[in-house]
Structure 1
Amino acid sequence: MRSVISPPSGTYFSAFSRAFLSTSRKEYGYNEVAEQKSRPVRQFLGKFWGVSAWMLELIMILSAVLGKYSDLAVVSALLVVNAVLSLMQERRAAGVVETLRQRLRVTARVLRETEWQVIASRELVPGDIIRVRGGDIVPADVKLLNGALSVDQSALTGESMDVDKTPGNVLSSGSIVRRGESNGVVMLTGAQTYFGRTTELVQQARPRLHIEAVVAKVVRWLFVIVGTLLGVVFVMSLIRGMPLLEMAPLLLVLLMSAVPVALPVMFTVSMAVGAKELAKGGVLVTRLSAAEDAATMDVLCVDKTGTITLNRMAVTGVIPLAQATEADVLFTAALASQEANQDPIDLAFLAAAKERHVFDGVLALTPISFVPFDATNRRTEAVIEQDGQRLRVMKGAVRTVAAACGLQPSAIEALEARVAESALKGYRTLAVARGSETGTPELVGLATLYDPPRPDARQLIAELRKLGVSVKMLTGDALAVASEIAQGVGLVNIRRMADLKAADAKTGKADANLLAGVDGFAEVYPEDKYIVVQHLQAAGHVTGMTGDGVNDAPALRQAEVGIAVSSATDVAKGAASVVLTEPGLTNIVTLVEQGRTIYQRILTWIINKVSRTVLKAAFVAIAFVATGKFVV
């Protein structure tokens, strides 16, 4: 049953009628992500079609013709077991889309028939007027009509800093409103939204299955060996005038020896044992073949925010002005911050103040009032009482705070130039001011913040390079910002994604030299990450991808080794084949090393299988040449 709330006083927008809603529903459908349905029976039967399946089925036919019913039963059981295991792995992928659908199942305040109503977000249609406020998940792509908001888009774009939205701006579905309250008109719903397009990419992503490639390659070589020996035996049989029917048992034996009937099951057992060992070290393998793929991985694409960086703001520089000191700037900024808000910027200033002991020896402070950051005034402000006197402190956007301090336009422009210079290096700059409760505040300084690299990022990249894995960073940041962060972790050659797209458009395919020579790409959109992974795979690379946000999900699914970090969203974890359960990225090195141990086990089995097949076939052929009889 829908609940009804009163509209804000003095606010009126046109509301939909029932007739219009019915028409819109038919045209646009519900505001939800449509999942591609697949029939389990048809999906299961499809497992009996493929290189491995065909050869097992050929052996089953020959076994039935020759009356070898025990062989028929064993091979049939192996075929069914392989089909069941493969089906179970594919069904797991359906959880990715379901996670996205769950994310959209929120309520919305909507204006219907002149009343504000709370309804399920799936009922929204384009043109609806909705109201969003702090703490809400945006239920559709919405264009703001009034007010101002601060929005967290980190789960969508991967970037940690909140984004300010004003009338005319568009809110993407799935983003979270941190501050403010506003009305907006629904522009896109369901599959047409940002979330919907991401879902389609996840559904389209199809990682290459190396187990099939390995089986096909082993079988091909075994058939070459066995076929050559059978050819010799066939010619000798014709020369000696032997009936061809007598060769049937020999054909069955050699075919059974050539087809690695137990290889898929052996793969599964080896990788399951390895996955159990990895889980003890904080690495959860959700697709068994990922451990084997990690052994042969030669390129690892990493997302910057939350993967190379901590996804946590930190104060990196303090620029005191006039007679102030760095301690004065941090002291004032910390007073204009509040831990209870859990605002990343407030927490950064409080942490910096604590680290530099700016409150040591300070007289008792009593908070009188606090005004949190608002997208309209673009600053936080507080009144503090100390020793009977009240102090007004503030921090925020440089232009806003400078104007509140009464600075001249020329002085403000000079400060803005500093802000622009810092922005090129990836830093966000805020101004800090203080003064009496009723007087004009005085600007005490500027502070720069940025999202620092993880402590283990440089070590991880160096160790992976020693293991023969090339690391490439993919980020939506501008080139200057991306290059600054990348150089700090040992990645020196960062290019714009537009360069790769230009080469792609010019030649019709990705520039292999460009892909091989760069350490990463900047100004990357979510679908671009997916495309980069595909291009790397087309160039013959076994590709890994790390990430934490919704925007990484398609690329995580497409990559042979999709790795979700411990702080990843549910969508990213669902799309990945490997999930790190502990902070940091050093466990990826463990994954590669453990994967190579598993790969060595499989390689040992394959070598043993090939040698035994050659010996068996050679023995039968030599015995026939020497005695004129088949020894089976």
Structure 2
Amino acid sequence: MAHEKEEQRTVPQDAVTEARTPSSDYVKGLSSAEAKKRLERDGPNEVPEKKQHYVLRFLKKFWGLSAWMIELIALLSIVLHKTTDLVVALLLLLVNAVLSFIQEQRSSAAVAALRRQLNVSVRVLRGGGWSTMPARALVSGDVVRVRAGDFVPADMQVVDGVLRVDQSALTGESREIERTAGDTLYGGATIRRGEGTGIVVATGVHTYFGRTTELVASAHPKLHVEEVIARVVRWLLIIVGTLVAVTLVVSYVKGLPLLDTLPIALVLLMSAVPVALPVMFTVSMALGSMELSRQGVLITQLSGIEDAATMDVLCIDKTGTLTMNQLSLKLVQPQPGFSEDDVLHVAALASNEANADPIDLAFLHAVAGRMQAMTSATTLSFQPFSAATRRTEAVVALNGRTMRCVKGALRTVGESAGLQDEVIQQLESQAKTEAAKGERVLAVAKAECEGPLQLVGLAYLYDAPRPDSGRLIAELRHLGIKVKMLTGDALPVARAIGGTLGLGTIVRVPELHNKVPGTEERPADVTEGVDGYAEVFPEDKFLVVKRLQESGHVVGMTGDGVNDAPALRQAEVGIAVSGASDVAKGAASAVLTHEGLVDIIDLVRSGRAIYQRVLTWIVNKVSRTILKAGFVVVAFLVTGQFVISALGMVLLVFMTDFVKIALSTDRVRPSQKPETWNIVPLVWVAVVLGFLMLVEALALLAYGWHRFALVAGGGRLQTFAFQTLLFFGLFSIISVRERRAFWASRPSLLLMVAIIVDALFGMFIGFHGLAELRPLPPTLSMLILAYTGVLVLGPNDVLKASLTARAEGKLGNERSS
């Protein structure tokens, strides 16, 4: 406690004094004019984000494995006095850096836009009325209501209420601290339990810690796709490195100058490095995130899109997601001696509009305009609902007398009112009939002054399923995703809602804890064989997610409250639904801005589309690397000459990178089943295609060597090899982008334009030459174009479709197992 009091003394006293001035009216709050004046004086309740200078961020693009390889080529070009090679290498380096920087800028702008949309909303008393507004609009002197699940939006002094606060985000201490009237709440802390009202004493840069806490996760965790690509590239580097070592040894034995061999060796190694991947992946993720934001899904962690592609189980919190989250009063059963109006009146007095609780609002809306007595009642104290008490209680002053108003669980309130167990059981039996229809029963009781509590009656509330929930659940199942409903409602209510939505087996959550008789093990299908759980507590949601993950599933979880945060953070795809609390948004990797589940479908399809683009890049990268490295090394071992110059290889890297970046915009066909990152079968398809193209390219080289006397052409051999590798690469992109026959879908406009531009530039070099790349006869260039196109889009494409179908069959069996 001594430490807590010390903290309180450090609050700026001038701010506290200002908060207690007459302009900070606790009953009416600040006027709009006064709030505007203070906002102009102190600025918005936010801290400007410190960003690294753009020049430094641009210079970082020249640092890394890919950049080092190109820079080494440029250095060797200077040593060898090869000006053209130097210019092309520097151009390649610069273009990659510029494209990556531009996309990073756009991505940063997109994240900033998303962060602005995810600003915390707070409940503020202004001009005598409660309203919800962005936290950045708060000013000193504002009266703010906070409750469990909220982030504290600014430094505040508690006026009423008892709060348990988590300040771990600020102090690193996980111990909860109690805060009551007169204590200080620091901006960025989290309310764990209770609710209360406070007056803002400092905002923005004037807060005690100098800044508000980050509310949206901005960290970029290591992605599965990066691990997969890193593993593929490591193997490619080993293969290419071995071939380069063989080349260097043979060159040494033949007495070739090392400085003539090194440029080719380095470019071969560079061909195995994913030079274009950072830009391609950044563009793909940025486009996906922006498209999702237009569709109502805000991505706070990049892993959210990636994991959505592999998600095969989605746990859905019922209230507000599957249902309307708009409780309405359906039936009132007053007890003898009381009327329906009495039940509604007492229930409304036991409600608090500032909390925006659905149950409270249902009663307040039911009595709106009907009972003038509500306006003359003064709330003296209010105890919100908690899992421990299972009731809400308020003490009010009405017409000169004090009245205690209670609403809550039937048995809890009935026992407090002194009802016999037999009477409670009889009432519960009546309530079960309505509960089977999906309705929630609440008991309402009151006590005059110090008198005993009396049961006034029962009220039945109904949260209707959303009109589109059943259809959307069926669509998720069609996409291969199992749906499990989690709800705190009683089993009859849960089964009624589940039946309406097409969810079959619903069980009570204690089934999760049951063990197989005589063993310490739980049934394997305890999470597999059911469609939902009733009577769920927060720790049960977390347990469901953990059990599913232990069974090998990639799990999605929806939620909106602070009690959902552990499960949202544990799930691979944590989804905060529309209207979620600040804690839920901070724990999730995606935030829905529209009500219902429709946005989740878009998230899944977008994730699977990005997966297909990355997969195309991997297959193309593996096959092209085998083709290029194998072609240069085998030709050198057979002929004793390097059939392509360093300039030609650098041009190939540059031109194919241009096309690979365009892959991020390609039209793709998302899978109807969850994806998997165990892509070994598809990598083997790429290996087969790479070796097949290598054989075909070497056959063409042998033909051209003898038919057109390329060795005596003074640079024509290098042009021939350049065009052969370029056109094989371009046609292979057209082929591998589609898992079926290449004509089954059209490439995107940008990808098609990139391929055509590359092909035209390649033909231009063949016709006119470039530096040591000498012109070829037009018929020979046309022959290379026709030969590569017919083979890649003919027999190679047929083989690709067959092998891919077989590989995807294996992957499908793996997903089903």
Q: TM-score, normalised by structure 1?
A: 0.59
In structure 2, C-alpha distance between the alignment counterparts of 1:618 and 1:590, rounded to whole Å:
42
Query: Within 5 A, what are the aligned runs for 1:129-528?
Result: 136-138=143-145, 153=148, 155=150, 169-170=162-163, 184-186=181-183, 189-190=186-187, 193-194=190-191, 207-237=221-251, 240-275=254-289, 277-279=291-293, 281-285=295-299, 290-300=304-314, 302-315=316-329, 319=333, 329=340, 333=344, 344-345=358-359, 348=362, 369-370=373-374, 374=379, 378=394, 397=406, 409-410=418-419, 414-415=423-424, 418=427, 427-431=440-444, 445-449=457-461, 451=463, 454-471=466-483, 477=488, 489=503, 492=506, 495=509, 517=528, 522-524=536-538
Q: Which residue of 2 aligns with 1:14?
A: none
SS of structure 2 residue aligned to 1:397: strand
In structure 2, C-alpha distance between the alignment counterparts of 1:104 and 1:251, rounded to whole Å:
62
- Taking structure 1 as reference, are residues 77 and 189 closer, same or farther at Cα in structure 2, changes over 3 Å only? same
Counterpart check, 1:74 vs 2:85: no
Deviations 1:608-631 (A, max 9, x none): 232222212221122112211111
- Taking structure 1 as reference, are residues 538 and 34 closer, same or farther at Cα in structure 2, changes over 3 Å only? farther
Question: What's the C-alpha RMSD, in Å, of the aligned pairs?
Answer: 6.5
Number of aligned residue pairs: 517
In structure 1, C-alpha distance between the alignment counterparts of 2:260 and 2:546, rounded to whole Å:
51
Deviations 1:216-267 (A, max 9, x none): 2342243244234334434544554544443312212212321221222222
The answer to whether the 8 A contact 1:295-1:599 is kept is yes
Q: Which residue of 2 aligns with 1:58?
A: 69
Deviates more, 1:489-498 or 1:457-466: 489-498
In structure 2, C-alpha distance between the alignment counterparts of 1:332 and 1:101, rounded to whole Å:
39
Corresponding residue to 1:594 among 599, 606, 610: 606
Q: Which residue of 2 aligns with 1:162?
A: none
Q: CA deviation at 1:585?
A: 0.8
Q: Which residue of 2 aligns with 1:17?
A: none
The answer to whether the 8 A contact 2:73-2:267 is kept is no
User: What residue identity is the alignment partner of 1:296?
Assistant: T
In structure 2, C-alpha distance between the alignment counterparts of 1:442 and 1:499, rounded to whole Å:
38
Please list every run of 5 or more consecutive structure 1 residues that lacks an aligned counterpart in the other structure: 9-31, 109-119, 125-131, 139-150, 158-165, 175-181, 355-364, 384-393, 434-440
Please list every run of 5 or more consecutive structure 2 residues that lacks an aligned counterpart in the other structure: 1-14, 26-44, 127-136, 153-158, 168-178, 193-208, 383-392, 447-452, 645-817
- Taking structure 1 as reference, are residues 557 and 7 closer, same or farther at Cα in structure 2, changes over 3 Å only? closer
The answer to whether the 8 A contact 1:533-1:559 is kept is yes
- Taking structure 1 as reference, are residues 463 and 554 closer, same or farther at Cα in structure 2, changes over 3 Å only? same
Q: CA deviation at 1:186?
A: 1.9
The answer to whether the 8 A contact 2:297-2:603 is kept is yes
User: What residue identity is the alignment partner of 1:565?
Assistant: V
- Taking structure 1 as reference, are residues 487 and 472 closer, same or farther at Cα in structure 2, changes over 3 Å only? same
Q: Which residue of 2 aligns with 1:606?
A: 618
Greater Rg by CA: 2
SS of structure 2 residue aligned to 1:137: strand
User: What residue identity is the alignment partner of 1:414?
Assistant: V
In structure 2, C-alpha distance between the alignment counterparts of 1:628 and 1:246, rounded to whole Å:
13
Q: CA deviation at 1:395?
A: 12
User: What residue identity is the alignment partner of 2:373?
Assistant: S
In structure 1, C-alpha distance between the alignment counterparts of 2:99 and 2:347, rounded to whole Å:
64
Greater relative CO (CA pairs within 8 A, separation 6+): 1
Q: Which residue of 1 aligns with 2:764?
A: none
Deviations 1:31-85 (A, max 9, x none): x9999978668994996699xx323323322332336442234224424643665
In structure 2, C-alpha distance between the alignment counterparts of 1:460 and 1:380, rounded to whole Å:
45
In structure 1, C-alpha distance between the alignment counterparts of 2:550 and 2:71, rounded to whole Å:
36
The structure in which a higher percent of residues are helix is: 2
User: What residue identity is the alignment partner of 2:90?
Assistant: L
Q: CA deviation at 1:137?
A: 2.4
Tell me the percent identity: 41
Q: CA deviation at 1:595?
A: 2.7
Q: CA deviation at 1:429?
A: 0.8
The answer to whether the 8 A contact 1:562-1:576 is kept is yes
The structure in which a higher percent of residues are strand is: 1
